[in-house]
Amino acid sequence: MKVSGAEIVVESLKKEGVTHLFGYPGGVVLNLFDYLYDAKGIKLILTRHEQGATHMADGYARCTGKVGVALVTSGPGATNTVTGIATAAMDSIPIVVLTGQVPTMLIGNDAFQEADIVGITRPCTKYNYLVKNIDDLAPTIREAFHIASSGRPGPVLIDLPKDISAGMGTFNWPEKIQIRSYNPTVEGNKKMIEKAVDEIAKSKKPVIIAGGGVILSNASDELRQLAELTQVPVITTLMGIGSFPSTHPLSLGMPGMHGTYYANMAIQDSDLIVAVGMRFDDRVTGKISAFAPNATIIHIDIDPTSIRKNVHVDIPIVGDSKNILTALNEIVKAEQKTQWGQIRMAWLKQLDQWKELRPMSYTYSDSVIKPQYVIEKLYEATGGDAIITTEVGQNQMWAAQFFKFDKPRTFLTSGGLGTMGYGFPAAIGAQVAHPDKTVIDIAGDGSIQMNIQELATAVVYELPVKVAILNNRYLGMVRQWQEMFFNERYSHSGLDVVPDFVKVAEAYSAIGLRAERPSDVEPVIKEALKIKKPVFMDFVIDWKEKVFPMVPAGAAIDQMLFDEEEAPKKKESKKLKAVK
């Protein structure tokens, strides 16, 4: 029996378990939209920009572990998805983007709204397709979901020419898929795993660095078990935040450029690094030649290209984090000899000293709102039970530093690409997946303006997303660099006109609240959390506030700069200055 291409697409999506997709219509996808008009069991969220649609699909994917789906038209609709696709690619997020394309006959003719989106997205997708034969539609969609969600996940794009979605064909749904050229390694090498356990038992000063891969493979429980069994402290990269509870005594927080003093010191002093699902990004390692000079490195990652890309690795273990951590734990549990608590005592004591010496802190003011104070109050008001998204820049770093995350899939941030404008649509996507959860986008006044139009989406679908705008009237991170490294020449980092965000919210029929004094912060947050509508909270913050600690670009990660205004905590801090 022949059915329409549109039907094949939508029914295939349903077979893949898709209940929501994010999209925007246009000429060549009208048949698809027509089929969706009264399709049951699948709902399209109409966005206000295609970039918003991809970020929403991404946010949806990050907080659920499912594949997020976006559907847009050809040409500009397709090119508008590129930033969202690249964002997902850099952070290994499974999304499938369906783009319309001009009819097969016209491809290559510079037709109206034609763009070679397969060519454009080749370097920023895990894989992409142009469907030329309607009978290939269902198998292509099946394969796309498999590729997006297996191995190291990533975005997959399917380009659908108009005549394919409008034509008639056979619904060939393959129950099994076999791609001979694609077989990711998921089980770790046994010998390497045994060697890793030996190293962990031998080590006097070990650290675990957990990345986004732990979250992607749902390995948080296994990670926690390993840390507790072997008494190894855990550092979580920006992408790994939530993979290990921030409030756990063995947690050292984030490493790298804006990492904690104690995480960076621990890495530099360590004799063993167990890296799990992280890729030694330059923001983590700082000056690579001075990174963890004495450490043996065990690197667990599903992507062989991550291993030995940036740092030397002594024990590479390719495979899925969950499987490998499970195998490690089994060996550790069977091995009774090692007195883990005993052998770690000195190291854990040293870490406690560092924690005490330079805890994460800031100088509170009662005249002007400090952004860190806002984050702390958000944490208190929600009890940590919230999904937090961020934009990019100072807002992102303060959120990572001062909110505490105890569960995976609750901190959604564009770590790799660093996409301003990510957080708000990602929060909307998360709210679609979890209608009853508190979802908060921690934003800056610059970033929120990059996808502010999606407020209409939140209002229309009654998604009560909260946005905490840390409003300093600047592109704060750019300004910080200009102050510290460019002789205070603030070239184009001041946003001379910042809209009245309260009025903007009201213009979209949402709610706007403003806090101008520190005493306003708590009441505003509490009120916002009570409102079952989207709310913009405009926090007028200290524009001079900077993100600390900070490792200057190109320096080793123990060469941290601290807030000069902050009173030295202990005598030893003089010694720290000498380290710089």
Partner 1 sequence: MKRHTISVQVENKFGVLSRVAGLFSGRGYNIESISVGETLDPKVSVMTIVTRGEDQIVEQINKQLNKLIDVIKVQDLYDVDHVEREMVLVKVAPPQEQKAEVLRLTEIFRGRVVDSSPKTYTIQITGDESKIEAFLELVKPMGVKEFVRSGKIAIAREKSKS
The residue (of 307 and 495) whose beta carbon lies closer to partner 1 is 307
**Piece in contact with partner 1 (CB under 8 A), picked from 118-126, 222-230, 283-291, 347-355:** 118-126
Structure-block tokens of residue 263: 């995480």
User: Quick check: 148 and 126 in contact, CB under 8 A?
Assistant: yes
DSSP 420-433: TT-HHHHHHHHHHH
Tokens 């957990």, residue located: 210
Task: Tell me how many residues contact partner 1 (CB under 8 A).
Answer: 17
Q: Applying CB under 8 A, does 195 fall inside the site for partner 1?
A: no
The residue (of 213 and 393) whose beta carbon lies closer to partner 1 is 213
From residue 27 to residue 56, what is the string marking binding to partner 1 with x (rule CB under 8 A)?
Answer: ------------------------------
DSSP 156-193: EEEEEEHHHHHSEEE----SS---TT-----SPPHHHH
Q: Cβ of residue 130: shortest distance to partner 1, in angstroms? A: 8
239 classed as catalytic: no
- 209 φ, ψ (degrees, to nearest 5): -115, 115
Distance of CA 101 to the CA centre of its chain: 30
Q: Cβ of residue 127: shortest distance to partner 1, in angstroms? A: 5
Restricted to residues 422-481, the positions that interact with partner 1 (CB under 8 A) are none
From residue 277 to residue 306, what is the string marking binding to partner 1 with x (rule CB under 8 A)?
Answer: --------------------------xxx-
450 classed as catalytic: no
Q: Cβ of residue 410: shortest distance to partner 1, in angstroms? A: 30
Q: Which of 41, 76, 105, 122 binds partner 1 (CB under 8 A)?
A: 122
Restricted to residues 304-323, the positions that interact with partner 1 (CB under 8 A) are 304-305, 308-309
Q: Applying CB under 8 A, does 574 fall inside the site for partner 1?
A: no
Alpha-carbon distance of 390 to 383, in angstroms, equals 18
User: Quick check: 189 and 318 in contact, CB under 8 A?
Assistant: yes
From residue 128 to residue 147, what is the string marking binding to partner 1 with x (rule CB under 8 A)?
Answer: --x----------------x
The residue (of 146 and 224) whose beta carbon lies closer to partner 1 is 146
The residue (of 307 and 386) whose beta carbon lies closer to partner 1 is 307
113 classed as catalytic: yes
Structure-block tokens of residue 305: 């290209």
477 classed as catalytic: yes
Task: Exactly one of 14, 15, 43, 113 is catalytic; name it.
Answer: 113
Q: Cβ of residue 126: shortest distance to partner 1, in angstroms? A: 7
DSSP 6-36: HHHHHHHHHHTT--EEEE---GGGHHHHHHH
The residues facing 46 across adjacent strands are 23
Distance of CA 511 to the CA centre of its chain: 27
Q: Applying CB under 8 A, does 173 fall inside the site for partner 1?
A: no
Q: Applying CB under 8 A, does 119 fall inside the site for partner 1?
A: yes
Task: Exactly one of 11, 16, 50, 391 is catalytic; name it.
Answer: 50
Distance of CA 146 to the CA centre of its chain: 21
Q: Which of 38, 40, 176, 180 binds partner 1 (CB under 8 A)?
A: 180
Rg of the Cα trace of the chain? 25
In terms of DSSP bridges, do strands 2-4 and 168-170 run parallel, antiparallel, or are they unpaired? antiparallel
Q: Applying CB under 8 A, does 118 fall inside the site for partner 1?
A: yes
Alpha-carbon distance of 387 to 380, in angstroms, equals 14
Q: Which of 105, 179, 345, 507 binds partner 1 (CB under 8 A)?
A: 179
Task: Exactly one of 397, 477, 537, 550 is catalytic; name it.
Answer: 477
User: Quick check: 392 and 418 in contact, CB under 8 A?
Assistant: yes
Task: Exactly one of 162, 370, 466, 546 is catalytic; name it.
Answer: 162
**Piece in contact with partner 1 (CB under 8 A), picked from 180-188, 387-395, 447-455, 484-492:** 180-188
Give start and end residues of each alpha helix (H) in 256-369: 261-269, 282-285, 321-334, 340-357
Q: Cβ of residue 303: shortest distance to partner 1, in angstroms? A: 7
545 classed as catalytic: no
Tokens 């320096």, residue located: 555
The residue (of 127 and 481) whose beta carbon lies closer to partner 1 is 127
- Residues ≥6 apart with Cβ < 8 Å to 445: 469, 470, 471, 472, 473, 474, 495, 498, 501
Q: Cβ of residue 496: shortest distance to partner 1, in angstroms? A: 38
Alpha-carbon distance of 283 to 511, in angstroms, equals 37
Active site residues: 50, 112-113, 162, 477
Give contact residues for partner 1 (rule: CB under 8 A): 118-119, 122-123, 126-127, 130, 147, 179-182, 303-305, 308-309
